[in-house]
């Protein structure tokens, strides 16, 4: 679970910005606090909803988190990826200043603080700390000097043997200035290394537990998952019925591979045939929302298409192509897998514009369902939204509500509703729309000439 995320000098955020999941003083909706088995351990909130006007920086906040995750999983800076480091542009001094990112998170009952500082060329600094009940252990601290030379020290890491120490020091010496030491460690086989979980658990959290979705993100491969496991079809259908989509079931139709020629260009078709020679399956997502799964079964090439079932007034089920469903229903097909995954896994799911293409009541239902499904685990939800109907203290705690506002210098800042003395029974939706908490759209008073 995520405990805190901080960053600076990225897009519209100039100075250090922090979103914290540490609970405030409020006592309502205590079930939305993740409580550890030991009272002395860290507590964390289940959700953080970020509100703000258009262009205030809400999506930029999530893009900063995504950039950091991608940097970690890719292993560092490369000529193509480095172009995506978008610094604060309204201050020339910040063009060459480093960007910093820091995550405090819990993985398998251990709490870590991992931070990185980068510029356009180097990983300037990288630090991994394990946070314990009464102390903090510095696992490693990596620095890169102005000439690109990397040095790593291990203040509190306990090596089990001299051989282990030599091996890790060799990896440190071999780490390039543009590469992350954490990534380099996780590309080696460290199973036999003593205390190796201190290196592997943090990397696993970024790879497996942090899920970031944007409005254009699509969940691919559902066709084959349903074909392989009928239970998924039943669960998915239950969710779709809960959201009142009118869908009564899902069916996977097998389509002759030759018929794909009618849907794609010859160039794309030939590329599919070429790629399937080295892959078990290919997911084809066309621009018109048509989706196909192509797989090899018992030596034969087969393609499958997702169809939805609708019941008519005559109690006869009619099949519809997935592309015929509304934007909102297709959006649910991309969000429901996340809800299914948190039934058994602890995940921090980040969604930019959760309300995109969804009715306000449906968006609220989605949030309510998240709290219900994740009740017995440490899963969390972070999302940006314009939907003021969610500003309800019967749904959210004050410390789960955040606002983003941009000043006249182009700088975004984030702050919590916890900073305002609002009682638990106060109508915060009305207060927000009246501008009491800031972060609302300001319409220019100048008369518009049309």
pLDDT reported for residue 101: 98
Please give the residue that has the higher pLDDT: either 438 or 412: 412
Average pLDDT of 328-341?
89
State whether residue 27 is helix, strand or coil: coil
* % of the chain at pLDDT higher than 90: 58
Average pLDDT of 110-133?
95
Task: Summarize pLDDT for 174-216 with one digit per residue, the tens.
Answer: 999 999 999 999 998 887 888 899 999 999 999 999 999 998 8
> Given the structure tokens 């087969």, which residue do they identify?
302
Name the burial class of residue 38, with classes exposed (0-12), middle (13-18) and buried (19+) by CB atoms within 10 angstroms of its CB.
Answer: exposed
Q: Which of 74-83, 111-120, 400-409 comes out lowest in average pLDDT? A: 74-83
pLDDT reported for residue 80: 54
Please give the residue that has the higher pLDDT: either 232 or 350: 350
* % of the chain at pLDDT higher than 70: 95
What's the angle, vertex CA 24, arms to CA 390 and CA 126, rounded to 5?
A: 100
Task: Summarize pLDDT for 382-410 with one digit per residue, the tens.
Answer: 999 999 999 999 999 999 999 999 999 99
Does the pLDDT value for residue 65 go beyond 60?
Answer: yes
Does the pLDDT value for residue 450 go beyond 70?
Answer: no
Does the pLDDT value for residue 37 go beyond 80?
Answer: no
> Given the structure tokens 């604060």, which residue do they identify?
88
Q: What is the DSSP letter of 157?
A: -
Task: Summarize pLDDT for 7-31 with one digit per residue, the tens.
Answer: 999 999 999 999 999 999 888 999 9
d(CA 388, CA 397): 15
Please give the residue that has the higher pLDDT: either 265 or 76: 76
Average pLDDT of 407-417?
95
What backbone torsions phi and psi does residue 189 show, to the nearest 5 degrees? -85, 100
pTM, full prediction: 0.91
pLDDT reported for residue 364: 94
* Strand-pair partners of 150: 144
pLDDT reported for residue 63: 95
pLDDT band at 350 (very low <50, low <70, confident <90, very high): very high
Does the pLDDT value for residue 81 go beyond 60?
Answer: no
pLDDT reported for residue 449: 62
d(CA 271, CA 70): 27
Q: Spell out the SS3 assignment of 43-57.
A: CEECEEEEECCCCCC
Would strands 99-107 and 2-8 be described as parallel, antiparallel, or unpaired? antiparallel
Does the pLDDT value for residue 50 go beyond 60?
Answer: yes
Does the pLDDT value for residue 40 go beyond 80?
Answer: no
pLDDT band at 83 (very low <50, low <70, confident <90, very high): low
pLDDT reported for residue 163: 92
Average pLDDT along the chain? 89
Does the pLDDT value for residue 258 go beyond 60?
Answer: yes
pLDDT reported for residue 79: 59
d(CA 391, CA 415): 15
Q: Are 118 and 85 in contact (CB under 8 A)?
A: yes
> Given the structure tokens 């990534």, which residue do they identify?
183
pLDDT band at 444 (very low <50, low <70, confident <90, very high): low
- Angle subtended by helix axes 360-373 and 230-242, to nearest 10: 130
State whether residue 396 is helix, strand or coil: coil
- Read off the tokens for 423: 């009682």
Query: What's domain 1-215+352-450's architecture?
Result: 3-Layer(aba) Sandwich (3.40)
Each domain of the chain, given as residue ranges in start order, spans 1-215+352-450, 222-331
Task: Summarize pLDDT for 144-176 with one digit per residue, the tens.
Answer: 999 999 999 999 999 999 999 999 999 999 999
Q: Which of 153-162, 307-316, 353-362, 394-403 comes out lowest in average pLDDT? A: 307-316
User: What distances in angstroms separate CA 233 from CA 257, 334, 408, one per listed residue?
Assistant: 24, 14, 50
């Amino acid at each position: 679970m995520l405990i805190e995320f901080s960053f600076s000098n990225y897009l519209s955020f100039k100075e250090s910005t922090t979103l914290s999941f540490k609970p405030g003083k409020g006592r309502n909706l205590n079930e939305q606090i993740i409580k550890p088995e030991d009272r002395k351990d860290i507590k964390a909130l289940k959700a953080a909803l970020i509100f703000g006007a258009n262009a205030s920086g809400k999506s930029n906040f999530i893009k900063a988190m995504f950039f950091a995750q991608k940097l970690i999983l890719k292993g560092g800076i490369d000529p193509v990826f480095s172009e995506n480091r978008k610094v604060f542009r309204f201050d020339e001094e910040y063009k060459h200043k480093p960007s910093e990112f820091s995550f405090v998170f819990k993985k398998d009952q251990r709490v870590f603080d991992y931070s990185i500082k980068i510029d356009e060329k180097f990983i300037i600094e990288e630090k991994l700390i394990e946070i314990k009940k009464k102390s903090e252990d510095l696992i490693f601290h990596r620095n890169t000097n102005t000439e690109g030379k990397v040095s790593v020290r291990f203040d509190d890491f306990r090596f089990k043997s001299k051989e282990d120490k030599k091996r890790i020091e060799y990896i440190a010496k071999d780490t390039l200035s543009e590469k992350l030491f954490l990534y380099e460690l996780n590309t080696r086989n460290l199973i036999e290394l003593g205390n190796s979980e201190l290196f592997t658990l943090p990397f696993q959290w970024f790879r497996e537990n942090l899920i970031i979705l944007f409005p254009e993100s699509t969940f691919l491969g559902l066709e084959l998952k349903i074909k392989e496991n009928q239970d998924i079809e039943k669960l998915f259908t239950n969710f779709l019925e809960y959201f009142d989509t009118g869908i009564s079931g899902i069916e996977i139709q097998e389509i002759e591979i030759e018929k794909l020629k009618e849907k794609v260009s010859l160039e794309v078709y030939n590329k599919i045939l070429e790629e399937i020679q080295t892959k078990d399956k290919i997911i084809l997502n066309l621009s018109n929302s048509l989706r196909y799964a192509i797989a090899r079964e018992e030596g034969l090439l087969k393609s499958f298409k997702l169809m939805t079932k609708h019941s008519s007034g005559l109690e006869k089920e009619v099949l519809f192509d997935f592309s015929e469903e509304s934007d909102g229903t297709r959006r649910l097909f991309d969000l429901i897998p996340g809800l299914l995954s948190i039934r058994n896994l602890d995940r921090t799911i980040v969604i930019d514009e959760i309300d995109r293409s969804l009715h306000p009541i449906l968006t609220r239902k989605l949030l309510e369902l998240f709290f219900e499904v994740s009740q017995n685990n440490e899963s969390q939800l972070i999302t940006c939204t314009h939907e003021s109907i969610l500003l309800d203290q019967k749904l959210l705690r004050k410390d789960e509500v955040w606002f983003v506002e941009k000043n006249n210098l182009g700088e975004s800042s984030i702050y919590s509703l916890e900073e305002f003395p609002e009682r638990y029974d106060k109508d915060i939706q009305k207060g927000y729309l009246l501008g009491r908490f800031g972060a609302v759209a300001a319409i220019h008073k100048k008369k518009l000439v049309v």
